[in-house]
Amino acid sequence: MITLALMSNFFKHDCTGWNACIALVCGNVVWKGAPTTPLVTIAMTKIIDGVLEKNNLPGASFTAFCGGAEIGQAIAKDTRIPLVSFTDSSKVGLSVQQIVNQRFGKCLLELSGNNAIIVMDDSEIELVVHAVLFATVGTAGQFCTTCRRLLLHESIYHKVVERLLDVYKQIKIGDPLEKGTLLGPLHTRASRENFEKGIQKIISEGGKILTGGSVIPSEGNFVQPTTVEISPSANVVKEELFGPVLYVMKFKVATF
C-alpha cells in the first residue's frame, strides 16, 4: 500500500480530488485541507468515506486532519509517507520539498498559478469573451486554473477589450448560491486586503485600471472584477494575485 499525503494551505479542494483519485488506486490517502476551511475538509471526507464503505472498502483509506502548519510539517517529515502532494505558494512549496527530499521522499507540487489565454486574430470574439469571463471571474479568481493574463493579437485587441468591458458591466455580484450570480466574495479578509495591496502595486508599476479595482462596501469580502492594461514586463504580472484581476496585453506575430 502506498500512502499519499495531500496538503493545502489554500482552499483548493479541487486539487485534492485530482490527486486523491490517483492515489486511491494505489493505496490510501492522508490529507490536510486548508486551515480556514475545516468544515469543507470534514464534509468532503465523510462523503468519500461513505462511498468507500458502500463498496466494501475501509473508510479509513481516506483520512483527514484539520489544523495549521504544524500538521503540514509533521506530514512532510513522516517517513511512512513516501509521496507528499502540496498546494500553496512557491515559497512554502520549496520548504516542503526540501524537508521531504531529506528523507528521500517524493513531492507532487502545485504552486502559484498565473495562467494565460492567447487570442489570435482569427478567433471568434464572442467565444473568447465568454470563456475569459468565466475563467477570470468565476470563483472570484481563486482557482489555480484562473485566467490572469489575456494576450491579444494587436489587430483585435481593442475589439476584444471593448466587448469584454461591456460584459463585465453585466456581472451579478453577491451570494454565489443564488441563481445568476457569477462573482461571490473573496475567501477571507486577508484575501481582500491582498487584493487592495495588489491594486496599489499595479498602479505603482504603470498599470491602467480599465474597470473595477475597488472593494465593494459590504459585510462580506466582496471586490469588483478588475481588468488592467499593463506592460508584460511589470513585476506584478509575474506574480499570482489571488482574486478576480485580469491583465490584458497586446502582441504581434513576428515575420521572417
Cell numbers 445568476 correspond to what residue?
180
Question: Is 144 noted as a catalytic residue in this protein?
Answer: yes
Looking at the DSSP assignment, which residues form a beta bridge with residue 27? Answer: 2
The rounded distance, in Å, linking the Cα atoms of 171 and 32 is: 34
Give the CA angle between residues 127, 128, 129 to the nearest 5°.
95
Residue of 66, 107, 110, 205 with catalytic role: 110
Tell which residue, 138, 212, 146, has the closest CA to residue 176. Answer: 138
Instruction: List alpha helices for 55-122, DSSP H.
Output: 69-77, 90-102
Question: Is 110 noted as a catalytic residue in this protein?
Answer: yes
Residue of 15, 124, 126, 144 with catalytic role: 144
Q: What is the DSSP letter of 237?
A: G
Largest distance between two CA atoms of the chain: 64
What torsion, rounded to 10 degrees, do the Cα atoms 131, 142, 221, 64 define? Answer: 140
* Distant-in-sequence contacts of 46-53, Cβ < 8 A, 24+ apart: 48/20
Side chain identity at residue 111, one-letter code: L
Which residues are marked as active site? 110, 144
